[in-house]
Amino acid sequence: MNVNVKKKEKKKYFIPFIILGIVLVILCVVIGAYNYRNIKLYNYIVSSDSEVADIYYNFEYMILWDKTLNYIRENKKEVRFIGEDYTIIIPSYEISKYYNFNVKFNEGISEIKDFDGISIYSVDFSDFDDLYAVGGIEFKLPDTLLKSNIVDVYKYENDEYILYKKGTKIFTDRIYFNMLDDKKENNKYIVTYVPLKDIVVENDVLEINNKSSLDLVVKPLPDNATYEKFNFYSENDALKITENGVINAKEAGEYKIKISDNEQRIEKEITIKVIPIALELTADKSTISLFPGNTSKINVNVLPEDAIDKNVVFESTDTNIASVDDSGNVTAVNVGECEIKIKSASVENLQISVKIIVNEKPAINQTENNGITYINGVLVVNKKYSLPADYNPGVDQTALNAYYEMKSEANKLGFSLEIMSGFRSYTTQEGLYNRYVNTYGQAEADTFSAKPGHSEHQTGLAFDLGWVDDAYADTDEGKWLAQNCYKYGFIIRYQKGKEDITGYKYEPWHVRYLGNPLATDVYNSGLCLEEYLGI
């Protein structure tokens, strides 16, 4: 055979052997590297006391030893596959032998609707081989997003990006997603920071009622702006606002509230006007006892004093027993009991009631003793019934003792309640009355001064307290006296609105001692003494 032919034939078989040898060497290297890596990995995992097995990788593919898999599963170790840019977290019961870490990252300027022109970082690991086993993912953020310290995360669902995490604070250069309860389909995300341009409030001036609350509606501009939360601040403790923007008004007035984003780059100030509405109704009496045909007025106080609508509506639960007009004047009709409902005209469910008791009118038992008239045992002195000129008992000691008891209680509240005028003799009253007639004329004098013999002061049972002036009724002391004197056996003798019956003008300072329980009964009736006695 030709020598050249033999050389050619040897060369023909030599090249494949060379290639085969190279392949075998590479294979041995790969297998050796695989075994070496897995031996090292297994020893590391076994020697670690941690409940988490950290597996670092530099390639897209990972194949684990069965021995390693079994150890992880038996010891229930969570596995973290740690790459350069991201970490995949797999629970022990989901661990697999083979992984293809097919995760895609992309940083750039968005052309996506609502994010146009905004820097975004897109993450796509929907092609990850064992997607349903993923418990969480952690990946590194680019420097462009780390500047803001806060980002929003959107997930791709139904052909659009839906907000997944709002206002996520970035403490390191990485962000973590818990995927255990997440839908593992089309796992595409974008991480972005959309600058806040403005804070939008529905009105710069809002109104709220006192003692009520209001949810402040605050929106970002644009709608998808990135912010952790809005911060709210009230300049006055009378108006509180929660971290969720709920306004609680305590007192009427005008207040300022400041709103800012978490980074305090934008601040908004709005005015809150707290409008005072009726919060409480009180009546001067809780029970009124009347006789058929008698009338009594219910005086209602609406709080707070500056409430914008203090109108009330009166309503009788039984007009056959007692009726009431729009001003609170109650008229007894027949014997029985009913209630007068008093409702706020503007505030729903704000109401009180006064019990009305209509009793059978007692027979009048009138007796006289030495020119002194008693009606049902009560000494009566008015324009009709008089006292003898020589009747001079001085101050009644029982009445005086009751006054001292009342004064002591008033002093505890800061009221003096001094006696301005007590017992007056016939002669003293005669001189006083004549001076008034000379000054004002008899017609006017008769409206506030009694003729001699017709003054209650001559009985020793009447006192003028505080100071003699109509304005006394509006003082705290005068109000307390009117509302509490009955407890000590006294009544305000000449009531407001009863001038035609008593014959005298309203005197909030003049009290008459009756003793109890009579004083309480007269007070609860709302009647003047003449009405109560039927004279």
Phi-psi region of 46 (alpha: psi -120 to 50; beta: other; left: phi over 0): alpha
**Considering 78, 477, 507, 530, which one is annotated as catalytic?**
507
Name the nearest CA neighbour of 291 among 321, 316, 318, 319: 321
Distance separating alpha carbons of residues 294 and 287, to the nearest angstrom: 15
Instruction: Report CA 20 to chain centroid distance, whole Å.
Output: 84
Q: Where are the beta strands (DSSP E) in 117-266?
A: 119-124, 136-140, 150-157, 160-169, 174-178, 188-192, 198-201, 205-209, 213-215, 218-221, 230-234, 239-241, 246-249, 253-261
CA angle 138, 142, 146 (to 5 degrees): 90
Helices (H), 78-235: 143-146
What separation in angstroms does the CA of 68 have from each of 32, 55, 72, 91, 189?
Answer: 17, 11, 6, 14, 32
Name the nearest CA neighbour of 231 among 190, 186, 209, 199: 199
Contact 447, 504 (CB under 8 A): yes
Whether 60 sits among the annotated catalytic residues: the reply is: no
Distance separating alpha carbons of residues 72 and 53, to the nearest angstrom: 8
Instruction: Report CA 530 to chain centroid distance, whole Å.
Output: 50
| Catalytic positions, written as ranges | 507
